[in-house]
């Protein structure tokens, strides 16, 4: 020990110092009576365990570790070690590395890790790799997409910068990092509110790979899962409301019938002024009955008879029926029909009610008259599309987002059940409904139905459909 001028230590397998020479005392700022462990950084501690196992087999080996030295800073040092199997002690001769050698070594390690990281680019999910001290070494293209950064903006930065673009609750990062350091794995749920169209939800999971001495972080997109969860919760709430509404509507209908009857009796002996008031009462009672009927349609299970319908004929009947009312309001209804016959499976009464509802809404949005265009086209002979377009006041994005929600309305006397009914009926017919609107330019509804071909018609049996849910 005393004969060598290079810093020399005698250590046990756990890295505990058993003896030192004068050069080692100066290098590590120790004293002759010091009995403790070398102060290594976390990656070096993990590397030491693997190094000792290899040393026990080879009896001599060399490795580089980051050790805290006299200046209380970590320094790269080369350990040339010899293992004595009888005493199970390690003799370590230490040499310092020049800045150039240390830099070359660091660059080669980073390059080696970046080369192995290229494999993650082929995985179909976001992956970020950091070293054991939490410095980001690389990220694949999916991670760049989720984090909305280029890899160069995150390389060699602290692991915490992964969360810069997300909304987190107070203390979430601290809890996550503590769990990662303690349990070697952790996960955290984050929200991305920077998207224009909708909020995105992600789960970020990290695991410490002790063998490769790296932290691997994976980002899972949970947006669709969250949306489905919200829809299920919303549907459950609506089902409860629907059951209550059906029960309440039934209870209200009985006294409502009595009120209507007594109103008619009062009209027989009433004077002109009283009849005026009774007419207002009667009108409001009819409005209440209409609301109850719409509510029961949405909430009460009903069986809908389905039959083969010629769509063009059905639409013409509705347009002809609505035309006189439209002309009184200085509105023209223009119907553009397809040249071929189109058959769909449906319920005539329900579909007529849907078309009338949409044309009536279009008329109510056109305060200064104009034209309502009703057009039917076919797509690939498998889909019939009906468009109802107005020149009315249009709708903003908030109204469009809530348009089909039950009880949502922008009308002073509206119930908010009309379009909820429309959506429900379209879905009962295996159809799709979409809407486009722009303020002061108008609104267009697009309805799509599956077409029955002539081959299908030969054996067509359209079953009755059971409608037993509240529309969402």
pLDDT band at 469 (very low <50, low <70, confident <90, very high): very low
Q: Are residues 233 and 276 in the same domain?
A: yes
Q: Tell whether 124 and 184 lie within a shared domain.
A: yes
Nearest in space to 311 (alpha carbons), one of 348, 361, 349: 348
Average pLDDT over residues 76-90: 91
Q: How confident is the model at residue 12 (pLDDT cuts 50, 70, 90)?
A: very high
Residue 2 lies in a domain: no
Confidence of residue 472 (pLDDT cuts 50, 70, 90): very low
**Looking up tokens 């083969």, which residue turns up?**
308
pLDDT score of 209 more than 80: yes
The CATH number of residue 435's host domain is 3.30.565.10
Give me the domain span that covers residue 288: 226-300
Indicate if 293 and 157 belong to the same structural domain: no
Range list of H helices, 300-417: 311-328, 348-365, 397-401
Distances (CA, A) of 354 to 32, 245, 305: 94, 22, 16
Residue 336 domain flag: yes
pLDDT computed for residue 166 by the predictor = 85
- Please tell me whether residues 312 and 416 are part of one structural domain: yes
- pLDDT-derived band at 1, boundaries 50, 70, 90: low
Backbone angles phi, psi at 161, to 5 degrees: -70, -10
Percentage with pLDDT > 90 across the chain: 19
Answer yes or no: do 24 and 119 share one domain: no
Residue 205, CA distances (Å) to 128, 177, 310 in order: 10, 11, 56
The number of beta carbons lying within 10 Å of the beta carbon of residue 326 is 20
Higher pLDDT, 463 or 98: 98
CA distance 447 to 252: 35
Instruction: Return the minimum-mean-pLDDT range out of 59-73, 119-133, 401-415.
Output: 401-415
Total domains in the chain come to 4
Distance, CA of 354 to CA of 33 (rounded, Å): 93
DSSP helix/strand/coil, 469: coil
Whether residues 241 and 217 fall in one domain? no
Tell me what pLDDT residue 446 has.
94
Tokens 């919303």, located at residue: 234
pLDDT higher than threshold 70 for residue 116: no
The residue from 76, 97, 118 where one domain ends is 97
Listed residue (300, 293, 301, 298) closest to 257, CA to CA: 293
Q: How confident is the model at residue 101 (pLDDT cuts 50, 70, 90)?
A: low
Cα distance between residue 224 and residue 230, in whole Å: 10
Q: What is d(CA 421, CA 52) in angstroms, rounded to the nearest whole number?
A: 74
User: pLDDT of 186-206, one tens digit each?
Assistant: 998 888 877 666 788 889 999
Average model confidence (pLDDT) for the chain?
81
What lies within 8 Å, CB to CB, of 54 at 6+ separation is 61
In a domain, 1, yes or no: no
Q: Identify whether 92 is part of a domain.
A: yes
CATH of the domain at 37: 3.30.450.260
Average pLDDT on 426-436 reads 90
105: pLDDT strictly greater than 70:
no
Q: Which of 77-91, 269-283, 438-452 has the lowest mean pLDDT?
A: 269-283
**Residue that finishes a domain, picked among 97, 123, 138:** 97
User: Based on the domain organization, do 180 and 215 belong to the same domain?
Assistant: yes
Tell me if residue 119 falls in helix, strand or coil. helix
**Residue 248 contacts by C-beta under 8 Å, 6 or more apart in sequence?**
none
Tokens 């509804």 -> residue: 445
Q: Are residues 251 and 378 in the same domain?
A: no
Q: Tell me, yes or no, whether 445 lies in a domain.
A: yes
Which tokens hold the place of 69? 């030295």
Residue 289 resides in a domain: yes
Does 265 share its domain with 253?
yes
Element (H, E) at 77: strand 74-84
pTM: 0.44
Q: Above 80 in pLDDT, residue 292?
A: no
CATH number of the domain that 262 lies in?
1.10.287.130
Backbone angles phi, psi at 261, to 5 degrees: -65, -45
Question: Can you give the CATH number for the domain in which 148 is found?
Answer: 3.30.450.20
Residues whose CB falls within 8 Å of the CB of residue 146, separated by 6 or more in sequence, listed in order:
126, 202, 219, 221
Asked if residue 282 and residue 316 are part of one domain, the reply reads no
Average confidence (pLDDT) over 49-58: 89
The reported pLDDT for the residue numbered 404 is 79
Residues 127 and 183 in one domain: yes
Strand partners, 311: none
Same domain, 328 and 360: yes
Q: Is residue 33 part of a domain?
A: yes
- Judge whether residue 366 has pLDDT over 60: yes
b (16+ CB within 10 A) / e for 346-369: bbeebbebbbebbbebbbebbeee
pLDDT value of position 248: 73
Residue 443 scores a pLDDT above 90: yes
Residue 31 forms beta bridges with which residues?
none
Inter-residue contact 448 to 431 (CB < 8 Å): yes
For residue 358, the model assigns a pLDDT of 93
Considering 200, 221, 242, which residue would you say is the last residue of a domain? Answer: 221
Q: Is residue 71, in this structure, part of any structural domain at all? A: yes
Average pLDDT over residues 61-78: 83
Going by C-alpha positions, the residue among 376, 365, 369 that lies closest to residue 316 is 376
């Amino acid at each position: 020990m005393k004969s060598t001028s290079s810093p020399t230590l005698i250590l046990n397998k756990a890295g505990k110092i058993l003896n030192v020479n004068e050069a080692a005392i100066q290098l590590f700022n120790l004293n002759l009576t010091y009995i403790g462990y070398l102060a290594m950084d976390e990656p070096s501690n993990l590397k030491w365990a693997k190094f000792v196992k290899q040393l026990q087999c080879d009896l001599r080996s060399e490795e580089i570790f980051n050790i805290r030295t006299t200046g209380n800073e970590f320094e790269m040092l080369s350990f040339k070690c010899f293992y004595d199997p009888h005493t199970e002690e390690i003799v370590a001769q230490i040499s310092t590395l020049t800045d150039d050698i240390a830099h070359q070594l660091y660059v080669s390690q980073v390059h080696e890790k970046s080369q192995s990281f290229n494999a993650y680019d082929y995985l179909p999910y976001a992956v970020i790799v950091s070293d054991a001290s939490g410095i980001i070494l690389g990220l694949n293209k999916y991670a760049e997409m989720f984090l909305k950064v280029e890899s160069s903006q995150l390389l060699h930065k602290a692991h915490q910068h992964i969360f810069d673009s997300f909304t987190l609750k107070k203390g979430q990062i601290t809890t996550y990092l503590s769990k990662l350091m303690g349990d070697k794995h952790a996960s955290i749920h984050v929200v991305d509110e920077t998207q224009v169209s909708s909020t995105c939800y992600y789960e970020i999971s990290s695991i410490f790979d002790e063998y490769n001495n790296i932290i691997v972080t994976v980002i899972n997109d949970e947006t669709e899962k969250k949306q489905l969860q919200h829809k299920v919760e919303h549907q459950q709430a609506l089902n409860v409301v629907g059951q209550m509404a059906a029960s309440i509507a039934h209870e209200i209908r009985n006294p409502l019938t009595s009120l209507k009857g007594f109103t008619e009796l009062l009209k027989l002996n009433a004077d002109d002024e009283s009849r005026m008031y009774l007419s207002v009462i009667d009108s409001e009672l009819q409005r209440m009955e209409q609301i109850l009927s719409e509510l029961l349609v949405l909430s009460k299970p009903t069986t809908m008879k389905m039959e083969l319908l010629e769509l063009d004929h059905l639409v013409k009947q509705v347009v002809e029926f609505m035309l006189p009312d439209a002309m009184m309001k200085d509105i023209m209804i223009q119907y553009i029909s397809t040249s071929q016959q189109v058959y769909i499976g449906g319920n005539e009464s329900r579909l007529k009610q849907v078309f009338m509802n949409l044309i009536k809404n279009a008329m109510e949005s056109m305060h200064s008259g104009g034209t309502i265009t009703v057009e039917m086209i076919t797509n690939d002979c498998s889909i019939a599309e009906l468009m109802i377009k107005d020149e009315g006041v249009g709708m903003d994005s908030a109204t469009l987002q809530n348009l089909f929600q039950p009880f949502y309305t922008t009308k002073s006397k509206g119930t908010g059940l009309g379009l909820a009914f429309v959506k429900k009926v379209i879905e009962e017919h295996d159809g799709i409904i979409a809407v486009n609107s722009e303020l002061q330019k108008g609104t267009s509804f697009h309805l799509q139905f599956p077409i029955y071909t002539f081959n299908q018609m030969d054996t067509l049996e359209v079953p009755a459909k059971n409608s037993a849910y509240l529309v969402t």
